[in-house]
Amino acid sequence: MTLSETAGPRLTLRGPANPALRWREGTGLVLLLAVSILAFSIAPVGRLLSAALEGGFAEFRAVLDTPEVRRATLNTLTVAFGSGAVAMAVGLVFALVLSVTDMRGRGAMAFIMVLSLMIAPQISALAFKTLAGPASPLLKLVGLAPAPGTPNPMLGEFGIILVMGLHHAPLVAITLAAGLSGLPRPLIEAALLDGAGPLQIIRRIVLPLLGPFLLSAALLVLVAGTGNFGIPALLGMPVGYLTLPTLLYQKLASFGPSSINDAAAISVLIAAIAASGVIAAGWLLARQQSRLEADFALEPFWRLGRARLPLELAVWGFIAVAILLPLMSLIATSLVPAYGVRLSLDSLTFAQYGEVLFRQDLTVRAFRNSMLFAGAAAASLCCLALVFAYLLDRAAVRVRTPVLALIELPYAAPGIVLAIACILLFIRPLPLLGFSIYATPWIILFAYHARFLAIALKPVLAAMATLDSSVEEAAVCDGARMGQRLRFIILPLVFPSLLAGGLMVFLLAFNELTVSALLWSAGNETLGVALLSLEDSGLGSEAAAVAVTASVLVCLLMLAMQSLVRRLPENALPWQALAGRRVRETG
């Protein structure tokens, strides 16, 4: 059997001489891929649908037709559309600033923007919550704190829309940057030669060509807003403002006789809203990217001249107010003995960090668990990503496309929907095996594998597509088996991308709350669960210390990934894609 028959049309040389070995080569890896897709994508979704429709469509409809579900659905759509409008406005401006102007410091701007997205949403919510209101240590420091008893403006609908919109703005900017990079440079140059100004070019050329990407970005932030749990949990639940994810959380926490079936029905509703947006956005992006394949990538064409410095100050001022100031408030809150105490040299203390890092059982255990869960998921997903990328890179398009769609399904679905699916899948003993992983650390690890496999796979798949097949062809001629080729040829070549994918998985899993909020059990608390528990208990300073520590770790991991940027494929990192090739080369 030829290698082309097992690995696709790229290679046509013969494999090992032993016929039985030739038949077996790659079969085990293909079976591993098939089992992984079945376990991580098909089985959870199928179990969720069967549970939701277990009592028939009439019962399913009855659950969704209750006043609390209707109210939560309205709230969900309100904050999703409202935050989407904020994200679109901010993201569009940043995408244009970073792509079409000659503004300095674009690499740093892109890094900070993506940092705000990588920081967990519950941390962003906590940061804005500590910034506003009469108890804010930072506002007390400068004498601008509202009078005692004044409601915190961040609690409720307005705060959720504002924080969620700012949190999702980098997602819009990254999506639009992908579209801007594909615009044909000769078209822009021709317009400049005809005397068109930068604003005319943006209005008449850039924005019309960017239309499908704008619509796709709007759909993506709508999906993200629909499934977001961390921000409504911290800013909505304390005042009784429930969205579908937080209502689902409360339903499952009640442990009523029908709570699991009700939760399944609500999960299907959330998934339906999210799936419609994801499918439409994916179709638009695929259709537009096939039309925009420029031979010369777009470069900045707007020379700001004397206006450059004022505009740079304005952009950095917005970054300071929208991103850095809330983080500073979080730091200030973590440095006072109790939330609401005015920050001064007399009240300054690092005791909260000692408490959460070394003395408090919950937080010490949560840090350890998050490190272990995220590290184990990152390490094993790196191994799976190497094998799966090798197989998919050599597969026919008609096979690769549906397989990638199934792999991305658990990541595209809201995390709380995946958590419900995992509960339904494992709440009873597994068939044939006779045991269950429900209420154990293994269910969290399973959910992390399902959710983040797509994240680990993408950079490796991009790197695999750039490899020259001649080296592997020579190894095939020498009789090297697939395992040997993967270990000694493929792995060294794609290792930077593999490491970047693993770090990204660790970064996302370490601060994760949406999945683990429903899957944790006593002794298996994660960092996100600990932060939510501390905030609910009124321990704001301790929660801030946990949030600051986690945010510092996220920043350090992103800097570690940045050190790999020259060895990674084009646009493998999100801030790399946002800043653009020209910025990366010139700094």
Short-list 524, 541, 511, 538, CA closest to 229? 511
- Do residues 135 and 51 lie in contact, with contact meaning Cβ atoms separated by under 8 Å? no
- Do residues 381 and 456 lie in contact, with contact meaning Cβ atoms separated by under 8 Å? yes
Q: What is the pLDDT of residues 327-336, one digit of tens each?
A: 999 999 999 8
Same domain, 77 and 211: yes
Final residue in a domain of this structure, among 537, 564, 579: 537
The pLDDT of residue 311: 92
Residue 236 lies in a domain: yes
The CATH number that applies at residue 266 is 1.10.3720.10
pTM (2 decimals)?
A: 0.87
Q: What is the pLDDT of residues 242-258, one digit of tens each?
A: 999 999 888 887 665 55
User: What DSSP character marks residue 566?
Assistant: G
- Do residues 546 and 356 lie in contact, with contact meaning Cβ atoms separated by under 8 Å? yes
Rounded to the nearest 10 degrees, the angle between the axes of helix 211-227 and helix 259-291 is 160
How far is residue 68's CA from residue 147's CA, in Å, rounded to a whole number?
A: 34
Same domain, 47 and 186: no
Final residue in a domain of this structure, among 514, 537, 560: 537
Rounded to the nearest 10 degrees, the angle between the axes of helix 527-536 and helix 121-131 is 30
Task: State both tokens at 150.
Answer: 């004044």
How far is residue 531's CA from residue 524's CA, in Å, rounded to a whole number?
A: 14
Residue 576 lies in a domain: no
Same domain, 315 and 440: no
- Do residues 463 and 494 lie in contact, with contact meaning Cβ atoms separated by under 8 Å? yes
Residue 550 lies in a domain: no
Same domain, 91 and 19: no
- The whole domain housing 388 covers 1-52+350-537
CA distances from 353 to 334, 374, 537, 545 (A): 8, 22, 17, 6
Helix (H, G, I), strand (E, B) or coil at 302: strand
The pLDDT of residue 316: 95
Same domain, 184 and 94: yes
What residue has token string 């668990």? 369
The pLDDT of residue 288: 58
Same domain, 247 and 229: yes
Same domain, 229 and 277: yes
Query: Using alpha carbons only, how large is the chain's radius of gyration in Å?
Result: 25
Residue 128 lies in a domain: yes
How many structural domains are present in the chain? 2
Helix (H, G, I), strand (E, B) or coil at 25: coil
What residue has token string 């629909």? 226
The pLDDT of residue 11: 37
Residue 155 lies in a domain: yes
What residue has token string 């537009």? 288
Same domain, 163 and 270: yes
Residue 194 lies in a domain: yes
Rounded to the nearest 10 degrees, the angle between the axes of helix 157-181 and helix 106-118 is 130
Same domain, 296 and 417: no
Same domain, 357 and 339: no
Averaged in consecutive runs of 10 residues, what is the pLDDT profile of the chain (587 residues)? 38 40 64 93 90 79 87 95 96 92 89 92 94 85 82 94 96 88 82 86 89 86 91 94 92 68 84 78 63 60 90 94 93 88 86 92 94 96 94 87 88 88 89 83 96 93 83 75 84 89 92 89 92 89 93 91 78 74 42
Same domain, 296 and 440: no
- DSSP sequence for 119-154: S-HHHHHHHHHHHSSTT-HHHHHTT-PPPTTPPPTT
Same domain, 39 and 147: no
Final residue in a domain of this structure, among 278, 309, 343: 343
How far is residue 119's CA from residue 284's CA, in Å, rounded to a whole number?
A: 28
Residue 472 lies in a domain: yes
Residue 491 lies in a domain: yes
